[in-house]
Amino acid sequence: MTDFATLGLAEPILKALKQQGYETPTPIQEQAIPYLLEGRDLLGLAQTGTGKTAAFALPILHHIATRPKKMQRYEVRALVLAPTRELVSQIGDSFAEYGRYLRFRHAVIFGGVGQNRQVEALKNGVEVLVAAPGRLLDLMAQGFIDLSVTEFVVLDEADRMLDMGFIHDIRKIMAVLPEARQTHLFSATMPSSIDELARSLLKEPALVQVTPESSTVERIRQAVLFVNGDKKKDALLMLVDNDRVERAVVFTLMKHEANKVADYLNENGISAAAIHGNKSQGARERAMKGFRDGSVKVLVATDIAARGIDVDDVSHVFNYDLPNVPESYVHRIGRTARAGREGWAISLCEAEQRAWLHDIERRIGKAVPAVTNHPYHSEESRLSTMPPPVLGGGRRQGRRSEKGQGRGRPSAGRSEGNAQQKMRRRFSR
């Protein structure tokens, strides 16, 4: 079996990995690291949870360790681009952890916070800069970043960056980078836009692909409950009010819905916090800290906000709303069953999202088992042939009933104690 030493990584990195408790490389690391140590460009098809961060961070740190260079004012030796501030800080933390026995400077930059401290960190040059594209361009325009000597470039979660509309920013950044550089592009999916981007940015790249989706998805126990829209909060409460739900992520489509769901859970004695784009950086960090230390049991998130969540111990993922893009379902449920553990992914499906469930089942290649013997079951939702909602319009909000969302526990929940107990047993790890 390959271990990190066989891959030829420098001693201080091996020491840090040992301290992290990493014994063997994950498949993406085992495949990608040799190419990256050789200096090849790389197209990596892998999603979060596969160990892809270390796959690109370790070779970069190895090059820094074995070929040290003095950085000048504002110079950057390795540039990592990632779509969200959460992901940017997590990647920054990973570099700090894996490189703790190396002498190197690193910085993270993202929007939504003042720039002074970020600029200060860049002043004497950095070996590693992890950046969100928008803030990077801002600081470049102000003359605080010099990419003329950059040797390593990573685009992480490239498909997400394109989804979020960063393509022009990426092109602008890539245009100023030296031709002679090593570029790594990581993406969970390979739509034609990524193929095009890869062709234009990478030179004879090695292709490395891991298929965590099937292996991770196999470990995730999935279920769907059909419910009416106005009973979803009660159904969710029934599901999360269970000691075996240690740490859960609940997904909603809309930011305001994330707030409402978190409020409802809190009112009913379940500690919950919402994270989405309208929350301040401080509020998001507090929520994530609470989630990590266990004081927040449930994180209610929209897809974009959840992208950077990197917590290994998520026991349950709940889709309060199904996603309208099947790929998002795979991303969402991949938040549980991390690092070899098992996990539950339970979805609520109302009539108007029924069509999305079909798409998801086609995407994952199997039916999501339906659970019907619970107090909120709606046969109408199960059999629905309604067209899916058009997102972004007022229709969803207009249709939504606020009934059953009052304070206190729903009476149905109380009288259905047995059914609830059964659910508890059913969805326990």
Q: In the set 9, 44, 53, 64, which binds ligand AMP (CB under 6 A)? A: 53
Would you say 82 or 129 has its CB closer to ligand AMP? 82
User: Does 48 sit near ligand AMP (CB under 6 A)?
Assistant: yes
Q: How far is the CB of 349 from ligand AMP (least distance, A)?
A: 29
CA–CA separation, 352 and 378 (whole Å):
12
CA–CA separation, 124 and 269 (whole Å):
49
DSSP, res 408 = S
Would you say 49 or 133 has its CB closer to ligand AMP? 49
Stretch that binds ligand AMP, among 48-56, 141-149, 182-190, 368-376 (CB under 6 A): 48-56
User: Does 51 sit near ligand AMP (CB under 6 A)?
Assistant: yes
User: Does 187 sit near ligand AMP (CB under 6 A)?
Assistant: no
User: Among 293, 322, 326, 288, which residue's Cα sits nearest to residue 308?
Assistant: 288
**Judging by DSSP bridges, how do beta strands 42-45 and 106-109 pair with one another?**
unpaired
Would you say 46 or 250 has its CB closer to ligand AMP? 46
User: Does 343 sit near ligand AMP (CB under 6 A)?
Assistant: no
Q: How far is the CB of 53 from ligand AMP (least distance, A)?
A: 3
User: Does 1 sit near ligand AMP (CB under 6 A)?
Assistant: no
Q: How far is the CB of 158 from ligand AMP (least distance, A)?
A: 15
Token pair of 285 as six digits: 């960090």
Q: In the set 44, 49, 83, 413, which binds ligand AMP (CB under 6 A)? A: 49
User: Does 312 sit near ligand AMP (CB under 6 A)?
Assistant: yes
DSSP, res 75 = B
Q: Are the CB atoms for 242 and 265 separated by under 8 Å?
A: no
Q: How far is the CB of 26 from ligand AMP (least distance, A)?
A: 5
User: Does 50 sit near ligand AMP (CB under 6 A)?
Assistant: yes
CA–CA separation, 198 and 195 (whole Å):
5
User: Among 199, 149, 205, 197, which residue's Cα sits nearest to residue 169?
Assistant: 197
Q: How far is the CB of 24 from ligand AMP (least distance, A)?
A: 6
Token pair of 10 as six digits: 């420098």
Q: How far is the CB of 245 from ligand AMP (least distance, A)?
A: 21
Tell me the helices (H) and strands (E) count for the chain, helix number first.
Answer: 20, 14
DSSP, res 166 = -
Tokens 């159904």 correspond to what residue? Answer: 235
Q: How far is CA 418 from CA 62, 192, 346, 351, 413, in A?
A: 58, 50, 20, 26, 10
User: Does 99 sit near ligand AMP (CB under 6 A)?
Assistant: no
Amino acid at 262: A
User: Does 93 sit near ligand AMP (CB under 6 A)?
Assistant: no
Backbone torsion region of residue 136, taken as left when φ is above 0, otherwise alpha when ψ lies between -120 and 50, otherwise beta: alpha
Token pair of 418 as six digits: 């047995």
Q: How far is the CB of 7 from ligand AMP (least distance, A)?
A: 11
Stretch that binds ligand AMP, among 33-41, 52-60, 67-75, 128-136 (CB under 6 A): 52-60
CA–CA separation, 291 and 305 (whole Å):
14
Number of residues that bind ligand AMP (CB under 6 A): 14
User: Does 318 sit near ligand AMP (CB under 6 A)?
Assistant: no
Would you say 59 or 389 has its CB closer to ligand AMP? 59
User: Does 339 sit near ligand AMP (CB under 6 A)?
Assistant: yes
Tokens 């009112």 correspond to what residue? Answer: 267
Q: How far is the CB of 364 from ligand AMP (least distance, A)?
A: 20
Q: How far is the CB of 93 from ligand AMP (least distance, A)?
A: 10
Question: Counting every residue, how long is the chain?
Answer: 429
Q: In the set 25, 323, 334, 375, which binds ligand AMP (CB under 6 A)? A: 25
User: Does 229 sit near ligand AMP (CB under 6 A)?
Assistant: no
Stretch that binds ligand AMP, among 20-28, 216-224, 227-235, 346-354 (CB under 6 A): 20-28
Q: How far is the CB of 6 from ligand AMP (least distance, A)?
A: 13
> How far apart, in Å, do the first and last CA atoms of the chain sit?
30
3-state secondary structure of 251: strand
Stretch that binds ligand AMP, among 42-50, 77-85, 141-149, 295-303 (CB under 6 A): 42-50
Burial class (CB in 10 A: 0-12, 13-18, 19+), 94: buried
Q: How far is the CB of 25 from ligand AMP (least distance, A)?
A: 5
Q: Are the CB atoms for 108 and 131 separated by under 8 Å?
A: yes
Q: Are the CB atoms for 77 and 69 separated by under 8 Å?
A: yes
Q: Where along the sequence are the contacts to ligand AMP (CB under 6 A)?
A: 22, 25-26, 29, 48-54, 310, 312, 339
